[in-house]
Structure 1
Amino acid sequence: MRVVRVTVDLTVPDLDEAAGFYTGFLGLEDEDLGLDWVARFVAPGSGDHVQLMTTDASAPENPQVTLKVDDVDAFHAEAVRRGYEIVHPLTDEPWGIRRFLVRAPDGTVVNIARHRE
């Protein structure tokens, strides 16, 4: 069980307006995710990125961070075992990931995800 990538998730009111700042001013590249509620902006050459969203398409709250993991089911089982609040159940989402949202003890909502194969 390990984390393979960390993505900061920022909630914004308007993706198009935000895109101008992240691409035009900061020079990040827009990675097309094919979704109208979330966008990813990548630093050329490094792969470092930030993800912006208006409202999560299926969860009741927006996450503040997404952790891509090697075994989402194992992480879910461990979160339940530890008694952490599951904000969004373990779900196979139509956009190709299996994920759940969990609230960290500090209140941060964390999206734990893995791309389906």
Structure 2
Amino acid sequence: MKFVSIRVVTGDVTALKVFYAALTGVEPTDLAPGFAEIRLDGCTLAISSEDIINKLNGGAIVPRSNRSAMIELEVDDVEAVRARVADGALAEIVQPPTAMPWGNDSMLLRDPDGAIVNIFSRPRR
């Protein structure tokens, strides 16, 4: 088994594509109307419209209702990302850069649909 992607379902595909492209620096690849991927090193972030889920999966996923999972993006410098988003135009900072007990530096953002995004760096060894 190989873990390959996380899919976020949304009522506004364009807003999430713009957000994650600005955050990651990677342009989305549109694969079908209402479905795009942002292909990152290690995993793909898929963005799907609510309409597709309702048509193909019987409404199994409800956008803007996630309260138990987070998207985690590893970066070299959490402070550099904080500086890019500090004006609040790109994202709400939920937790400023914080040293975690296991050694990571971590900052939590909220995407346009309200999902939590953990921007973190591992300790240098």
TM over 0.5: no
- What range describes the TM-score normalised by the shorter chain of this pair? 0.3 to 0.5
Name the structure, 1 or 2, with higher relative contact order (CA <8 Å, separation 6+).
Answer: 1
Per the normalisation by structure 2, the TM-score is: 0.42
